[in-house]
Amino acid sequence: MEFPQIDKVYALINEKLQTWLESSIKHLPNIVVAIIIAIGFGILANVIGKGVRRVLTRTFESKQIAELLTSIVKAGVISAGIFIALDFVGLQGTVTSLLAGAGIVGLAIGFAFQDLTENFIAGIAMGIRKPFEIGDVIEADGVFGNVEAINLRNTLVTTFFGQREIIPNKILFRNILTNYSVLGVRRLEIPVGISYADSPEQAREVIVTALNDKKYVIKKDETNVYAESFGDSSVKLLVWFWIAYPGEFNFMEVRHDAIVTIQNALNEADILIPFPIRTLDFGAKGGEKLNDMLSQKERSSPTKKT
């Protein structure tokens, strides 16, 4: 049995192979140059990556952010080398297809991992802006404590109650964040009440003098006492003073000692810190005391006959 088509198929394959071989030989110099370009860009990417890593490690607190940005830079340099090599060989269409495919894949990944991507971007942005550093005392979204670590996706905070809170970076990036460490100072406000029979000016002088004798008080010229309002049983005062924070003295110990100092100073000056007082008024229009009402009732009552 004869197969007449085999000769044609063989001839066609042979022709194609000869054409490819001739084309390869023709483009062999370009292929060699393209390989050299790719290798050169690979070496260049390693050199640039080492330099970028050193700079970013000094710039960012998080090593993960530094490593990520370094990898992005290296990938960019290598990709540029590959695209240049392909273009040098004459595969311009391949380069265009790769770029279009990379854009579509990137868009799909962005939609699929939107939350993850947002945290990554927020982590990188915070690494550049540096709203806080490791060891700072921050408060955000109901979490108050020391920053333990800064990662690409989240930030670890150890609260003053001994718990570790993991906060997504996008929450810290979007919401209001208070950094208690960046300025190195903190003002304490302590409310205190004195009786209406005592002078607020005298209380101010006594409290300011007592607090300014403490080592933990800084900016002593700004230590002051202000009358805040009239209470039910006292004139309400607000004591202000500054401390270094974080500093040598513990915040809770400072507040405790300040309250004790204020109480002792007022006691020594014979200034009363009153407890709540209730006055009973039995008159329909007010102003009548119980003793007066009882005396009036006794006088108006008829004398009993014996």
How remote is the C-alpha of 67 from its chain's centroid?
21
- The dihedral formed by the CA atoms of 128, 131, 137 and 139, expressed in degrees to the nearest 10: -130
* pLDDT tens-digit readout, 82-100: 777 777 766 666 666 666 6
Q: Is the pTM of this model over 0.75?
A: no
Main-chain dihedrals φ then ψ at residue 213, nearest 5 degrees:
-80, -10
Domain 8-112, architecture per CATH: Orthogonal Bundle (1.10)
Sequence ranges of the domains in the chain: 8-112, 130-179, 185-268
Domain 130-179's class? mainly beta
Rg (CA), the chain: 40
Is the per-residue pLDDT at 306 higher than 50?
A: no
* pLDDT tens-digit readout, 224-239: 999 999 988 889 999 9
Domain 185-268, architecture per CATH: 2-Layer Sandwich (3.30)
